[in-house]
Amino acid sequence: MLDQGGHADHIQKTEASAAVRQRTLAATVSCSGVGLHSGSEITLDLLPAPADSGIVFIRTDADDARIAARWDNVVDTRLCSVLANQDGVAIGTVEHVMAALAGCGIDNAEVRVSGAEVPIMDGSSEPFVKLIRDAGVVEQAASRRIIRVLKSVEVDLGNAKARLDPAEKQEFDLEIDFANKVIDRQSTSLSVVNGAFCKELAGARTFALLSEVEAMRAAGLAKGGSLDNAIVVGDDGILNDGGLRYDDEFVRHKMLDAVGDLYLAGATVVGRFSGVCSGHAANNKLLRALFADDTAWAWDTVSGDDAAFAVDGGIHPVALAAE
């Protein structure tokens, strides 16, 4: 994948079996939905991309402006993760589709979007996972590269903390604590391997307090928000007729966000992520702290017999893509 500012490679030699190959989509797939904040109808297309190109967003309404999905292109984290290129062309709410691409093991893809934000769909990553399954996946000739955490890195935003520690696989440990008694305090842990993302996190929806929705609407935001694409939480319960998909859906969604935000590293970050009341701001600050210390991380490859990197989500490659 893309190098982080010229950092030297530290590639693990794997003699026992072949390295895991990079993957892209087998076909182009599309969806349409409303933008959470603009309220506009937006079309999103997922397309195959060459090996070593990473994930790139393309604004089709802005002269096909390209925006690399990278931590150092994040320009706003207040309500979502917003990326922008050097010309100032931005794309918002990228975390849910990034989480789906990460969870399904897609290394290279173009994400073409007809507006300034990714459509919110149902507020989770599940619609994007379905798109990827519909497209199918092909392996590419290049070996997959990962980013190994070599030493602990931590950031503290006062009300939020996030940390990365070395680990043999990608692990997440997250705790949230809300004054609202419906959400209250929740915590969960998950190793994001062997389809765990698709099974345990992909369907968890974004959520907001009713008071926050009213404030955002007054500020001209959340024009596309509805009970069809978010869990709305009142003082005594949730407003959605269908209830929750998981008993702890709130913390699961925050973990989903973290999966998507960390994939902005440019590759899978292999280590243990721990967050306390963390969100987009802490997640991005953590990546910036990681890459600011050349001794805290290294590029690596993994062998095909490493169970931690088994094909995720049951999406098996159909062929080796021509380069």
- Tell me which residues are annotated as active site: 280
Task: Look at the block and give the residue holding tokens 């030297």.
Answer: 8
Give strand pairing partners of 33: 42
3-class secondary structure, 299: strand
Sign of CA dihedral 102, 110, 27, 300: negative
Cα 151 to Cα 85: distance, rounded to the nearest angstrom? 30
Q: How far apart are CA 157 and CA 143, in angstroms?
A: 37
Q: How many angstroms separate the CA atoms of 127 and 141, rounded?
A: 28
Q: Give Cα 149 distance to the centre of its chain.
A: 18
Helix (H) or strand (E) holding 102: helix 95-103
Closest by CA to 109, choosing from 140, 151, 80, is: 140
- Cα–Cα dist 54/22, whole Å: 10
Q: Report the helix count and the strand count for the chain, using DSSP H and E.
A: 6, 21
Residues 6+ apart with CB under 8 A from 75: 82, 83, 84, 90
